[in-house]
Amino acid sequence: MLLTLGDFGYAEKTNIENQAKFQEDPYIRFEESIIAKSIDYSASSGNCYLAYTVFQSEYPWAVDFQEYRLIKRLRSYGINLRRVDTKLPSNVRVYSEDVERNYVLASNNKVLEIRKGFGDIEEEKFLEIIYNELFKN
């Protein structure tokens, strides 16, 4: 259950320093409690970036609370999310802003906050990749 820049066709950034090649690892953090687990991910490649947090719980009340709190917090930052209709299954709620850089996707057991810094992919394709990697199973 890990979505990466590679899923969208971007290679991870590689640098050359002192004639030695090394791979820059993305930032990934896993947390788990008795109520929920979460994954934080961020990576960049050139002018492109992807950052997200997935919150997952078997308790619907915890997921609903996280969804409400997340949307409220983002709106307080001036990110005007609105619920949008998509081609995804009806059990996945999608919120987006007008510039289509910030998204929140929520289902009965997951909430995803995601920010993308690349524009050469259509919104429906972007959402389809997210759904297939994080929500389908």
Answer for the pair 124, 87: CB distance below 8 angstroms, yes or no. yes
pLDDT digits (tens, 9 = 90+) for 36-65: 999 999 988 878 889 999 999 999 999 999
**12 has which bridge partners?**
none
DSSP 26-60: PEEEEEE-SSEEEEEEEEEETTEEEEEEEEEES-H
Question: The whole model's pTM is what?
Answer: 0.85
pLDDT digits (tens, 9 = 90+) for 75-123: 999 999 999 999 999 999 999 997 778 999 999 999 999 998 887 888 8
pLDDT class of 23 with cuts at 50, 70, 90: very low
Q: What is the dihedral of CA 11, 30, 107, 127, to 10 degrees?
A: -10
Answer for the pair 127, 88: CB distance below 8 angstroms, yes or no. yes
Q: Nearest-CA neighbor of 100 among 117, 75, 76?
A: 117
Both tokens assigned to 20: 């030695």
Answer for the pair 115, 74: CB distance below 8 angstroms, yes or no. no
